[in-house]
Amino acid sequence: MCACACLLPRRFKLSVRQVKQISLVFDADGTGNIDYDEFVRFCQFKDVASAVAASKAIKKKKKKPSNQVEERQPGSAFVPGGGGGGASKAAPAKGGMSFSPQELEVSRAQTRVFWGCPPLLHSLISRSLWYLSPH
Amino acid sequence: MFIVPTHPIPPLVRLPLQTMLKDIHAEINRLAKSKGSKPKFRKVFQSIDKDGGGQVDVSEFVEALGTMG
């Protein structure tokens, strides 16, 4: 390898995508801005791989949903009373719809009844729900 | 009359993300390095944060990357 290669200054050619990727590594909490703590966190790691891994771990923690309504898929098995029963802690979502714990519980019960029925009853319920719904 | 550059202009290179991050990491640590004491990250951060708002936005970040490379 040529020794003079290291003497030449290297010039970056950054695309918008690369800038975004780099800023995402710094911006662990996903606010769009890099604050001092995030900056220091990135710099204090010995190597870049661990810094990237730590940033991803923080993002995963932040992304965990708090008040998602558990819905049963049509293909999966129905377990009466199972899957998300009990008191739910419904924290208000940022910028999205928020439900009170009572509303969530009613919604869960309706979902359970709805998916647990045989096809004919299923269609009857869905029709009657449609007629009852305000539209 | 033509002006002939004495130094060769380095070509613009597109580096992989990992290499670029490694270079940025090394450059920040080099800038923050101080003799016999802890690295001064605050100084580097303040030089990037032009408006002094305590947070670096995308435009400031791009500008800082430009000055590094």
Residue range A59-102, pLDDT digits in tens? 777 766 555 555 555 555 545 444 444 444 444 444 456 666 66
pTM above 0.80, yes or no: no
Instruction: List the single best residue of A7, A12, A40, A47 to mutate versus B (max B Cβ within 10 A).
Output: A12
Query: Does pLDDT of A4 surpass 60?
Result: no
pLDDT tens across A113-124, in order?
555 656 666 677
Predicted confidence at residue B65, as pLDDT, reads 79
B18/A contact by beta carbon, under 8 A: yes
The predicted complex's ipTM stands at 0.72
Q: How many CA atoms lie within 13 A of A22 on its CB side?
A: 24
Q: Sign of torsion, CA B37 B41 B46 B48? A: positive
The answer to whether A60 and A47 are in contact (CB under 8 A) is: no
pLDDT tens across B11-35, in order?
666 667 788 888 888 888 888 887 7
| Contact across the interface for B69 and A11, Cβ inside 8 Å | yes
Indicate the burial class of A41 (C-beta count within 10 angstroms; 0-12, 13-18, 19 or more).
Answer: middle
| Contact across the interface for A35 and B58, Cβ inside 8 Å | no
Predicted confidence at residue A50, as pLDDT, reads 77
- Quote the CA–CA distance of A128 and B49 in Å, as a whole number: 59
Average pLDDT over residues B46-60: 86
